[in-house]
Structure 1
Amino acid sequence: MPFAEHGGVSLYYETDGPTKHDTVAFIEDVGYGAWQWGWQHAAIAGPFESLVWDDRGTGRSDAPIGPYSVSEMAADLDAVLADHSLRKVHLVGAGLGGMIALQYAMNYSRAKTLTLIGTAAAGSRLSPGVRDELLAEKTPDALHESLRPVVSENAYKTGLEDLVEWRLEDDASLDAQRAQFEAMERFDVSDNLYEITIPSLIIHGTDDGVFPVDAGQELADGLPRGELRTFEDAPHLVHIERSKEVNDELLEFLEANAETTIR
């Protein structure tokens, strides 16, 4: 099991798919473990190499005492990519993960494309009150209730037992969740998006209860090569609930910007 290290923090990652192809690295949303990318992994690993890693505070990575910052987590990502000897990589991030991808594209040169799901250019765009709804002790009932703002009503009524089980295993502790939320809320690159000139796909559900769809539109408008794809009536976890449609958009975008990666 590969681990990278940054500033004394051990960071777990794993890869799948052919190494001769472009690599797609997935970056987790606030508090969530790598389970959230299970719906994309099957579609990506094969046409591309996939790389999934645990942000500081989640899964098998270390959980240092906060505060955290998005810049620090972007540096964590660079340590992982360097450990895997990547020179170029496609980044796919959701929520906080999209913010880490944006910061990474500004600070480092490895990013080839960005796919940003349910993301905003500034933490101030977080919907009022939703932070308190998303923070949760790692108990089945608390984790289930905290899914209410990020899934549709129909999905919530199904019980979501699998998601709760995966969250119990991989999600951040409550302290690490708070540290990640504080990093997200301090983040703001809204005045610097013009610096990110690589192709960028923005995916947003129109019923996103974490970041409103207007934040996705602002992000697409601010990025020189930003393209927005909205999914009608889809919630924040659009890549889970509408996975087939999202995967189709993602694969089309990646294939249009892919080439054989030379290690």
Structure 2
Amino acid sequence: MPFAEHDGTSIYYETDGSSKHDTVAFVGDAAYGAWQWGWQHAAVTGPFESLVWDHRGTGKSDAPDGPYSVAEMAGDLDAVLADHGVRKAHLVGAGLGGMVALHYAKQFSRAKTLTLIGTAADGSSLAPDVRDRLLAEKTPDALHESLRPAVSEEAFAAGLEDVVEWRLADDASLPAQRAQFAALEAFDVSDELYEITTPAIVCHGTDDRVIPVEAGKELADGLPRGELVTFEDAPHLVHVEHSKAVNDALLDFLARHVDETFD
């Protein structure tokens, strides 16, 4: 199993597809494990190489004591890409992962495009009461209840048994969840978006109760090469519940930039 090392922390990642193709690296949301990318991973593998990695505190990666920071997680991502020998990568980030991708594009040189799902330019759009509802001990009932703000009412009522099982296996522990959400809340590049000239698509559900769609609109407007795609009545986990529509937008965006290079 491949691990990259960054500042004494081992970061787990795995890849699928041919390294002869462009690499699409998935950067996860706070608390959630690699299961969240199952739908997108399957869609991009083939025309692209997919790379999925576990944030510090999540899955098979080390879980050092907090605090964590978005800058630190961006360093983890760079260590992963360097370990795998990736010169340029299309970054697909959700929530906290989108913030990591934004910081990465600003500070590092390997970002080819950005796909930002349910993401904001700063952490102030996440209300403390919503954060507290998302945090959960790793028990089936707690993990199910903590999905309520992130999914539609219909999905929540359906039980989400598979998702809960995946969360039990792969999600961050409660202390690591707290450290990841603290990193999200401390993040702010709202006054520096003009510096991020990487082509970007901002995907946002109009019924996102974690990061409101207005924050996504502001993010797309602030990025010099940003485009906004909204999904009607879709929740925060839009890439899970509306995976086909999100995948269509993602693949169309990637196809437009597959041959574009930056020196």
TM range (shorter): over 0.9
Q: How does 1:135-174 map to 2 (within 5 A)?
A: 135-174=135-174
| TM-score of the pair, normalised by structure 1 | 0.98
The residue type equivalent to 1:242 in the other structure is H
Q: What residue identity is the alignment partner of 1:139?
A: T
Q: Which moved more, 1:124-133 or 1:66-75?
A: 124-133
The answer as to whether partners of 1:127 and 1:209 remain within 8 angstroms in 2 is no
Per-residue CA distance 1:117-156 (angstroms, 9 max, x = gap) = 0000000111351001000000000000000000000001
What is residue 112 of structure 2 aligned with on the other side?
112
Partner of 2:85: 85
What is the DSSP-based 3-state SS (H/G/I as helix, E as strand, rest coil) of the residue aligned with 1:165?
Answer: helix
What SS does the corresponding residue of 1:133 show, helix, strand or coil?
Answer: helix
Deviation at 1:96, TM superposition (A): 0.1
Map 1:1-263 onto structure 2 (within 5 A).
Answer: 1-259=1-259
Secondary structure at the aligned position of 1:129 is classed as helix
CA–CA separation in structure 2 for the residues paired with 1:88 and 1:151: 33
**Which structure 1 residue ranges, 5 or more long, are not aligned?**
none
1:20/1:260 contact within 8 Å kept:
no
CA drift of 1:18 comes to 1.4
- Tell me how large the CA RMSD over aligned residues is: 1.0
Please give the alpha-carbon distance, in whole angstroms, between the structure 2 residues aligned to 1:199 and 1:215: 18
Asked if the contact 1:93/1:117 (under 8 Å) is kept, the reply is: yes
Query: 4+ residue stretches of structure 1 with deviation over 4 A?
Result: none
Q: State how many pairs are aligned.
A: 261
Distance apart, 1:198 and its partner CA: 1.1
TM-score by length of 2: 0.98
Q: Distance in 1 between the 2:157 and 2:195 partners?
A: 43
In structure 1, distance between residues paired with 2:4 and 2:132: 32
Please report how far the alpha carbon of residue 44 of structure 1 lies from its aligned counterpart in structure 2 after TM superposition.
Answer: 0.5
